[in-house]
């Protein structure tokens, strides 16, 4: 694709992103990750050498929100990981326990700075008992790498611990049944940032009816601890609509800034 005006051909374009010491050129690994995400990037050639202006849709201003999910007593839930996972595996609080193959508890670093929360297990997650596997999981891995993170350095969980039949959206009763388990995981991890992927996760955690497109691009606060919460599109949605990947990259840039 050939650009007009002060832009140059994509084959000559140089990306830019946040680094540990401010803004600077992307390393080769992140270039590869942005390519995998389908993000196009280019620079203005009329800028001085070393000053590269990335041309993607503009970032939205960082804002804060006081939204949070109402608290739920966790006195009867185990306060250690092993017992909590056992409680989830034995859970019969809703009808999903009758159709699941496996519960999907969560995976990752239990002392993580970032907790990624999705919607519910899909078919492959139900089979393996792990969150975010398959094509959506691969894209999530690439997104995390582009942000300077890895799957092993974050903790990944879902709003639901069991797969809804046919991958339908969770209903209110199912989310209520799983809410205490997720709350306990958040309490044990105490992450600096929660990355809510997709509408179900975002609306459940923020108790909001707004669409992801209106919730993303700014920081919210979650719970009594006011944990920073960032909303972005679910990887499955990005696979269906690749044109939105640039917006998810903007969200990842906000995540990197928050972690500095």
Instruction: Dump pLDDT digits (tens) for 42-58.
Output: 544 555 554 544 434 44
Q: Is 64 inside a domain boundary?
A: no
Is residue 81 within 8 A of residue 184, CB to CB? The reply is no
Q: For all residues of the chain together, what is the average pLDDT?
A: 82
Q: Is 63 inside a domain boundary?
A: no
**Predicted local distance difference test score (pLDDT) of residue 115:** 98
Nearest-CA neighbor of 102 among 82, 81, 130? 130
Same domain, 18 and 85: no
Same domain, 49 and 92: no
Same domain, 48 and 128: no
Please give the tally of structural domains in the chain: 2
Same domain, 139 and 34: no
Is residue 118 within 8 A of residue 156, CB to CB? The reply is yes
Q: Is 76 inside a domain boundary?
A: no
Q: Which residues make Cβ contacts (< 8 Å) with residue 254, sequence separation at least 6?
A: 59, 62, 217, 218, 219, 230
pLDDT per residue as tens digits for the range 183-213: 999 999 999 999 999 999 999 999 999 999 9
CB-CB neighbours of 105 under 10 Å:
20
DSSP 3-state of 204: helix
CA distance 115 to 112: 7
Largest CA distance in the chain: 64
Q: Is 245 inside a domain boundary?
A: yes
Q: Is 67 inside a domain boundary?
A: no
**Predicted local distance difference test score (pLDDT) of residue 76:** 83
Question: What percentage of the chain has pLDDT greater than the value 70?
Answer: 71
Same domain, 123 and 197: yes
Q: Is 62 inside a domain boundary?
A: no
Same domain, 42 and 122: no
**Predicted local distance difference test score (pLDDT) of residue 153:** 98
CA distance 239 to 244: 9
Nearest-CA neighbor of 17 among 258, 195, 253? 253
pLDDT per residue as tens digits for the range 91-136: 999 999 999 999 999 999 999 999 999 999 999 999 999 999 999 9
Same domain, 154 and 187: yes
In this prediction, residue 26 has a pLDDT band, given cuts at 50, 70 and 90, of: low
3-state helix, strand, coil in the chain (%, to 5): 40, 15, 45
Same domain, 5 and 51: yes
pLDDT per residue as tens digits for the range 247-257: 999 999 999 99
**Predicted local distance difference test score (pLDDT) of residue 196:** 98
Same domain, 177 and 231: yes
What's the domain range around 12?
A: 1-56
Same domain, 210 and 114: yes
Sheet architecture: strand order including 155-158 = 107-108, 155-158, 114-118, 193-197, 227-232, 219-222
Q: Is 229 inside a domain boundary?
A: yes
CATH number of the domain encompassing residue 133:
3.40.470.10
Its pTM surpasses 0.85: no
Q: Which residues make Cβ contacts (< 8 Å) with residue 88, sequence separation at least 6?
A: 103, 105, 161, 181
Q: Is 92 inside a domain boundary?
A: yes
């Amino acid at each position: 694709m050939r650009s007009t005006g002060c832009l140059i051909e994509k084959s000559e374009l140089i990306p830019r992103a946040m680094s540990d010491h401010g803004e600077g050129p992307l390393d080769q690994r992140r270039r590869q990750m942005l390519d995998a995400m389908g993000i196009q990037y280019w620079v203005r050639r009329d800028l001085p050498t070393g000053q590269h202006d990335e041309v993607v849709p503009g970032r939205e201003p960082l804002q804060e929100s006081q939204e949070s999910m109402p608290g739920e007593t966790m006195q009867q839930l185990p306060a250690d990981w092993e017992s909590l996972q056992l409680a989830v595996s034995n859970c019969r609080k809703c009808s999903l326990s009758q159709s699941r193959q496996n519960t999907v508890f969560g995976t990752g670093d239990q002392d993580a700075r970032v907790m990624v929360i999705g919607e519910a297990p899909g078919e492959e997650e139900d089979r393996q008992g792990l969150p975010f596997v398959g094509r959506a999981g691969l894209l999530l891995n690439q997104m995390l790498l582009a942000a300077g993170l890895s799957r092993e350095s974050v903790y990944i969980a879902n709003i639901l611990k069991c797969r809804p039949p046919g991958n339908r959206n969770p209903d209110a009763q199912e989310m209520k049944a799983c809410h205490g388990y997720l709350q306990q995981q958040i309490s044990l991890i105490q992450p600096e940032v929660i990355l809510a992927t997709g509408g179900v996760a975002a609306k459940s955690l923020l108790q909001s009816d707004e669409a992801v497109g209106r919730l993303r691009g700014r920081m919210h606060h979650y719970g009594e601890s006011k944990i920073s919460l960032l909303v972005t599109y679910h990887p499955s949605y990005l696979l269906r609509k690749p044109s939105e990947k640039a917006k998810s990259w903007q969200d990842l840039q906000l995540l990197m800034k928050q972690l500095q």
